Amino acid sequence: MPARAQDTFNAMLRDQIAPRLRALGFTGSGHQYVWPAAEHWASLGFQKSRRGTGTELEFTVNVSVVGRAA
C-alpha cells in the first residue's frame, strides 16, 4: 500500500528537513523553525494545504526575517 501524502510530508520534515535546519543553527520542531541571529530572527514555517488527496499534497514554506530592533 503506498504511503499517504500526509505521512510522506511529515516524514520529510522529521527525517530530512529538521535535521538539516538544526545543523544550520535553527531551533524548533514540527512545522516551525527559528534561527536567532545576533541582529535578526529568521523563521521558516511549513504549511500544508487542506485540499490534498491521499496521494497528493500541496505545501508552502513561509519565510520571514525580522530585525531584533523591530
Q: Domain spans of the chain?
A: 5-67
Give the three-state DSSP class for 33: strand
Q: Which residue has the higher pLDDT, 1 or 66?
A: 66
Q: What is the pLDDT of residue 53?
A: 72
As a residue count, the chain comes to 70
Instruction: For residue 20, give the nearest of 35, 3, 40 by alpha carbon.
Output: 35
pLDDT of 27 > 70? The answer is yes
Indicate the average pLDDT of the chain.
89
Query: How far from the centroid of its chain's Cα atoms is residue 9's Cα?
Result: 10
Enter the pTM of the model: 0.80
Is there a contact between 61 and 8 (Cβ–Cβ < 8 Å)? Answer: no
Instruction: For residue 46, give the nearest of 3, 16, 17 by alpha carbon.
Output: 17
pLDDT of 34 > 60? The answer is yes
